[in-house]
Chains A and B, each alone.
Chain A
Amino acid sequence: MSTVVPALQLDHVSRWYGNVVAVNDVSFALGAGVTGLLGPNGAGKSTLLHLLAGLLAPSAGTVHIGGRVAFGDPMVYSMVGLVPEREAVPGYLTGREFVRFNADLQGVADASAVTDGVIATVELTDAADRSIRTYSKGMRQRIKLAAALVHEPSILLLDEPFNGLDPRQRLHMMELLRRMAAQGRAILFSSHILEEVERLAEAILVMFAGRLAASGDFRSIRRLMTDRPHRFTIRSSDDRALGAALLSDPAVFGVDLLDGRLAVQASDLGAFARIVAPVARAAGIRLHELTPTDDTLESVFSYLVRR
């Protein structure tokens, strides 16, 4: 853990609109790398990103970005790039003009070359001289990304960046973000598509109904959920006998005989891992396959939002 100031830091941040609490007492600190902000629609992800981007003031708590207070400090934007989801791009400008505009406002040196470079990065060179009005959703998304990259920000906030991108563009953008994170930038992106987050994020933040439900690496989060049984699927030479044998061990508290396999619920991951092989051998049963069935982000997520 480096000693530099964390790129993003929230301390007990809440944001409410009258009676509706959009963000509820959220605290975390992020550094370099890619973090995924995960949550269902309405969880408060966009609000959180807007708070980080200084476009909303927190109703309580403090938001620091790059060590400075996010709201009310325009100079913070020389190191922050934001790719908003809802905010529209001006349709009457061409892609190139829009990116150039952003570059000019950022005071980027050699704006023309940088504009061309960043447009090439998002693969919009062919369409750059058409007006944005004619762009598809995915193209608008990419031009917003280009605009956010002109000044090579050390902190990048993206709100649902993969919306409207086809699989190839999605992979391309993921690769781009990974590269940028490897350069030491802090990247936070939000999504409600689990596969995207699982593939790209090194760490996740899970939001639900305005609260932070969990943060960190999703496998470690899973391990922390001791009140949820770990589930496994086993294929063996004799499922029924194996099930009976496993049930006699205190680490296991549920088995299901399903068609062609055995579903096991274990309370303690470590203990189960130690006993499953000896138990099978003692009973003379051959194990063909053992798979954890809820070690995915999806099941972690569904546990988190159901508590």
Chain B
Amino acid sequence: MRAFVAIVGVTARALAGRRRTLLIALLAWLPVLLAILVRIGGGRPDAPEILDALVIRTVCPLVALVVGTGAIGSEIEDGTLVFQLIKPLPRWLVALAKGLVAAFVTSVLIVPPMVVTGLLLGGLGPDAIQTTGGFALAGLVGGSAYAIGFTALGVITGRALIVGLGYTLIWEGVLAGILEGTRFLSVRQATLGVAAALTGEDVGEEPLAAVLSIGILVVVTVGGLALTTLSLRRFQLRTAD
């Protein structure tokens, strides 16, 4: 237990101190900036539009990608992971600690700006609250699932960032849209499904059913943790480049 807390603490500190985390935090607050611009410019304050298109589709996976691949991947890259591996700890414990931190940091980074954006655009009426809250909750669970999935990716490959980007931009962005039957293989669609169920808003093309969406997110989360555990068990030091 003490070891679990220790890993959580060190990983959280590592993530918090990194410059890339600060930069990605800026990205997370971009929707707020947009909301302000829209309000000032007198445009139509369409909260679901921004929260959906910008946050869920772009900000959420990108933040989760940077945080997730940083949780273990960057420690592999700079060599500090070794000190955590040469300890008598079951690998699932390490995986769980890292995944938890990744999910937590991702949520902390994206949820507050989402709430602020939603309130700025939608105001405080009951409908707006439901929209804002629904999207925020979807962002929380979706972002966490993304983060844990990307944490596993960070252990598996040294080029996790590019692979993750390929997944987000190419697979989720394009292909899953074209090939109807594969929509369940997209975390984005699952997140949108949750958002649609919670807010009752129209989130673009026909969203996945709530149960299916939650199921997908659970599978991604649990699968991500399992994959991280397995990869850590078989971890070998990488040769340079």
Query: In the complex, is A directly touching B at CB under 8 Å?
Result: yes
Per-residue contact bits, chain A 88-105, to B (CB 8 Å; 1 contact, 0 not): 111011000000011011
- The docked-state distance in angstroms from the alpha carbon of A84 to that of B80 is 11
Whether A74 pairs with B89 at a CB distance below 8 angstroms is: yes
Per-residue contact bits, chain B 5-33, to A (CB 8 Å; 1 contact, 0 not): 11100100110010000000000000000
Whether B2 pairs with A55 at a CB distance below 8 angstroms is: no
Whether B80 pairs with A89 at a CB distance below 8 angstroms is: yes
Tell me how far the C-beta of B160 lies from the nearest C-beta in chain A, rounded to whole angstroms: 19
Q: Which residues of B contact A74 (CB under 8 A)?
A: 85, 87-91
**Interface SS, B side:** helix
Q: What is the count of residue pairs linking A and B with beta-carbon distances less than 8 angstroms? A: 74
Q: Which residues of B contact A92 (CB under 8 A)?
A: 13-14, 17
Q: Which residues of A contact B5 (CB under 8 A)?
A: 104
Tell me how far the C-beta of A21 lies from the nearest C-beta in chain B, rounded to whole angstroms: 13
Binds A, one of B133-141, B200-208, B229-237: B229-237
Tell me how far the C-beta of B232 lies from the nearest C-beta in chain A, rounded to whole angstroms: 9
Tell me how far the C-beta of B81 lies from the nearest C-beta in chain A, rounded to whole angstroms: 8
Tell me how far the C-beta of B82 lies from the nearest C-beta in chain A, rounded to whole angstroms: 5
Q: Which residues of A contact B17 (CB under 8 A)?
A: 92
- The docked-state distance in angstroms from the alpha carbon of A55 to that of B83 is 11
Q: Which residues of B contact A86 (CB under 8 A)?
A: 79
- The docked-state distance in angstroms from the alpha carbon of A168 to that of B83 is 27
Binds B, one of A28-36, A75-83, A236-244, A270-278: A75-83
Counting CB contacts under 8 A, is B3 at the interface? yes
Whether A105 pairs with B3 at a CB distance below 8 angstroms is: yes
A48-92 contacts to B, CB under 8 A, are: 50, 53-57, 72, 74-78, 80, 82, 84, 86-90, 92
Whether B82 pairs with A102 at a CB distance below 8 angstroms is: no
Q: Which residues of B contact A72 (CB under 8 A)?
A: 233-234
Tell me how far the C-beta of A131 lies from the nearest C-beta in chain B, rounded to whole angstroms: 10
9 tightest A-B CB contacts, nearest first:
A104-B6, A87-B79, A105-B87, A78-B88, A88-B79, A87-B82, A90-B80, A77-B88, A105-B3
14 contacts between A and B (CB under 8 A): A50-B237, A55-B85, A55-B86, A55-B235, A74-B88, A74-B90, A76-B88, A77-B87, A78-B88, A82-B82, A90-B14, A90-B83, A102-B87, A105-B7
Chain A residues packing against B (C-beta within 8 Å): 17, 50, 53-57, 72, 74-78, 80, 82, 84, 86-90, 92-93, 101-102, 104-107, 111, 147
